Structure 1
Amino acid sequence: MALASEAGGGAAAAKKAARREIIKALKALGDDAMAAQNAAIAARVLASRAFASARTVGVYIHCAKLHEVDTMPLLRDALAQGKRVYVPLVDDRNSNMRLLHIDAADDMRPAPPFGILEPSVSYADGSARENVMEMERPLDLLLMPGLGFDAAGGRLGRGGGYYDKFVRGLQQRAAEQGWAPPLLVALAFTEQLRDGGVPMEPHDAFLDAVVTPGALHLCSDAARRAEAGGG
């Protein structure tokens, strides 16, 4: 389970140490092993009831240089199924980002400094892309990246705070509209799942589920209901 929050620099030090360990393990993961894990994770997501029933889906775009789980097969499958898909656009270095609607994978272009694919701010006709925070329907599912995870829904990010800040905004908007909040689902290589838990602080968002090559870890009642077919 997630480790209890520690005061002051204790939590920061624990996170820093955990990040070093996980990054080292990911760098040691060979290309063939990574490809096999990517395929197994994608298969588990596609087989899940939560993904099948979601009409609106947020999908992070993976960064190969950071050894993140590849999301492109899931994005393409979601588009092929007719789901409404939203992907991140980083606005600045102050942990601000948006999720914008795309119609196709070709709507994205590499962005510096890591070459991660991002959408343009407008459609081909010049109109503004739909922003998740402005749409008149709930976001059903958000596939999230991260560096470390545990089976209780703990998530250790890379320190930028983008997703924690964004998720708080999503949850607040859902509450204001009377919607159920989106299911927060992380994708993780085996090397990213820590049996002893990950360090967590009060501002860190807990996940509803974590998908690894070997299992779909259901971490909340909402995720368990979704997989049972209860919505």
Structure 2
Amino acid sequence: MAAEHSLVLEAKKTMRTQIKKQLKAMSPDDMREQSSQIAQQVIASPFFQQARSVGLYITCERLREVDTMALLQAALQQGKQCFVPLVEDSQSNMALLHIDTLEDLQPAPPFGILEPSKQQRDGSDRQNALQVAGGLDLLLMPGLGFDREGGRLGRGGGYYDKMVHDLDARAQQHGWQPPWLVALAFSQQLVQQVPTSHHDRDVDVLAMPTELVRCSSRAKQHL
């Protein structure tokens, strides 16, 4: 078992290196174009249209991620509850905190990624996605590599693994539907198969520039 786990970790490490090289080779124009196409696909989708509450990451240019700004603006304009990550420590702990406007975001060290503060301007605590009545409806996720079966290769920090586990556990505890898990991917990030461990959680949908790949049986049935 330990040997198998070690092989998976090694395969993940190799794949991360390969995909990072491909991302580094992308031109800014290609990244902008694909991000725009992905945003259009997502905004027109039933899972986005029907969501009342949305968790989504804020793009880090240095990490060369799909840009989510158009998605955040669309969600805010449509009156959805929006929850944005605040990294709390290096132990895979992050909070998804509610924002009302883009002005609620400030650059945070070391990469200057926009994050919400823990408190609102009036000093009250921002609502956490783990407190939403009925549970979070949709989580838009980053990652490094993805396959058409819903396999997701993260960057190794475990932040989203932990967040998804907590969101799922809360939904199960209350008998709610868990959030739709939707990963955003440039075409360069699609691989044949992501190496996975037993604890890795597949995504429901992979949003790409030219298509929305319905990965889970739930997505195939309901979307």
- What's the TM-score bracket when you normalise by the shorter of the two chains? over 0.9
1:204 matched residue in structure 2:
200
- Are positions 1:122 and 2:122 aligned together? no
Q: Secondary structure at the match of 1:7?
A: helix
Q: 1:183–1:222: 8 Å Cα contact kept in structure 2?
A: no
The correspondence for 2:161, drawn from 138, 161, 164, is 164
Is 1:173 aligned to 2:170, yes or no?
yes
1:40 corresponds to: 37
CA RMSD in angstroms comes to 1.2
- SS of 2:148's equivalent in the other structure is coil
Describe the superposition over 1:170-224 as per-residue Cα deviations: whole angstroms up to 9, x where unpaired: 1000001110000000000000011x21111112111000001011000113223
Higher RCO structure (Cα 8 Å, ≥6 apart): 1
Mapped to 2, the partners of 1:57 and 1:225 lie a distance apart of 21
Matched residue, 2:211: 215
For residue 22 of structure 1, what is the aligned residue in structure 2? 19
Question: 2: CA distance between counterparts of 1:39 and 1:152?
Answer: 24
Over the matched positions of the two proteins, sequence identity in percent amounts to: 54
Q: How many residues align?
A: 222
Structure 1 residue 12 and structure 2 residue 35: aligned?
no
CA, structure 1 residues 80+225, in 2 after alignment: closer, same or farther (shift >3 Å)? farther
Partner of 2:54: 57
CA distance in 2, matches of 1:49, 1:132: 21
Cα deviation, residue 136, structure 1: 2.1
Among 46, 64, 68, the alignment partner of 2:65 is: 68
Gaps in structure 1 of 5+ consecutive residues: 1-5
Write the distance in 1 (CA, Å) between the matches of 2:222 and 2:84.
22
Q: Which residue of 2 aligns with 1:3?
A: none
The offset of 1:8, in angstroms, is: 2.7
Within the candidate set 134, 137, 154, 1:137 is matched to 134
For normalisation by structure 2, the TM-score amounts to 0.97
CA contact (8 A) 2:151 2:196 kept: yes
Look up the SS of the partner of 2:150 in the other structure.
Answer: coil
TM-score, length-scaled by structure 1: 0.93
Letter of the 2:219 counterpart: A
Q: What's the CA shift for 1:96?
A: 0.4
Distance 1:98 1:66 in 2: 20
Alignment partner of 1:182 out of 141, 155, 179: 179
Shift of 1:125: 1.0
Q: What per-residue deviation string (whole Å, max 9, x for no partner) do you get for residues 42-85 of structure 1?
A: 11001111100100100111111000000011001100000000
